[in-house]
Amino acid sequence: MLSVSAALLLTLAWVHQAQTLYFHIGETEKKCFIEEIPDETMVIGKYRTQLWDKQSGSFLPSTPGLGMHVEIKDPDTKIILSRQYGSDGRFTFTSHTPGEHQICLHSNSTKMALFAGGKLRVHLDIQVGEHTNNYPEIAAKDKLTELQLRVRQLLDQVEQIQKEQNYQRYREERFRMTSESTNQRVLWWSIAQTLILIVTGIWQMKHLKSFFEAKKLV
C-alpha cells in the first residue's frame, strides 16, 4: 500500500515537473509580460530554465551556472525589482499603484551560443492575487476545518473581485478624462483654425490690395 502510494507520488512528481507552460528564448532576447493589476495585489512568479544540449539532442533537466535577470517595472515605468536569479528562481512583488506592470526576463549568459546553439527553454508560472494563496498551508497554520477553509477561499475571491471593481472605477475615470480632453481639444483647435483662416484671408486681401495700389495696377 505504501509502495503503491510512493510510486504514484513519484509519477506525479515527474508530471509536476513537466506540467508548466514553457517557451523558447534566444541568447540576448528579452521577454516581457504585462500584468494589469489593482493596487496591493501580490504577484508570485516562478521560472525554471533548461539549456539545449547539442550532444544528446535534448534539453538538460537543469542548468547550474545559468542565470536569469528579472526586471519589474511599475505603471510609471519605475523599476521596482531588478535582480539576478539562478537557473531556477522565484520572484514576488506587491503592487502599490494600480496599472500595467511589466515583468521582463533575459538570460545573463553569453556562452549559450557556443554550447547550446542559442536555445533556452524557460518554464514560467505567474500567479496573481488570490491564486498566490497556499490553502493547505493556511489551513495548517490557522487550524481551519474544511468548511472554514472553503469560506476563507471564497472571502479571498470576493476581495479580489472588489479590488478589481475599484480599479475599474479608477480606469473609467481616466478614460473619461481622456475623452473630455479630446473633446475640448477638438473644439478649441477648430475655433482657432477657423479664426486663423479668416484672419489670414483678410490680411492677404488687404496686403495685396495695398501692393497693387502701390504698383498702380488697380
Note whether 192 binds other proteins by CB under 8 A: yes
The yes or no reply on residue 19 touching other proteins (CB under 8 A) is yes
Nearest CB to other proteins, comparing residues 113 and 208: 208
The secondary structure of the chain as a DSSP string is -HHHHHHHHHHHHHHHHH-S-EEEE-SS-EEEEEEEE-TT-EEEEEEEEEEEETTTTEE-S--TT--EEEEEE-TTS-EEEEEEE-SEEEEEEE-SS-EEEEEEEEE--SSHHHHHTT-EEEEEEEEEGGGG--HHHHHHHHT--HHHHHHHHHHHHHHHHHHHHHHHHHHHHHHHHHHHHHHHHHHHHHHHHHHHHHHHHHHHHHHHHHHHHHTT--
153-182: contacts with other proteins (CB under 8 A): 153-154, 157-158, 160-161, 164-165, 168, 171-172, 174-175, 178-179, 181-182
* Interaction of residue 204 with other proteins, rule CB under 8 A: yes
Binding piece for other proteins, criterion CB under 8 A, among 55-63, 71-79, 109-117, 120-128: 120-128
Considering the rule CB under 8 A, would residue 36 count as an interface residue with other proteins?
yes
Which one of the spans 1-9, 51-59, 71-79, 82-90 is the region binding other proteins (CB under 8 A)?
A: 1-9
Q: How far apart are CA 156 and CA 132, in angstroms?
A: 10
Rule CB under 8 A: choose which of 3, 4, 18, 56 binds other proteins: 18
Task: Answer yes or no whether residue 4 interacts with other proteins by CB under 8 A.
Answer: no
Name the residue type at position 159.
E
As a whole number of angstroms, the distance between CA 167 and CA 163 comes to 6
Please, which residue, 11 or 111, has the CB nearer to other proteins? 11
Q: Please identify, using beta-carbon distances, which residue of 79 and 186 lies nearer to other proteins.
A: 186
User: Rule CB under 8 A: is residue 151 a binding residue for other proteins?
Assistant: yes
Q: Which is nearer to other proteins, 28 or 181 (CB)?
A: 181
One residue of 23, 62, 92, 113 binding other proteins per CB under 8 A: 23
Which residues, 125 to 144, sit near other proteins by CB under 8 A?
125-126, 128, 131, 134-137, 139
How many other CB atoms are there within 10 angstroms of residue 38's CB atom?
A: 21
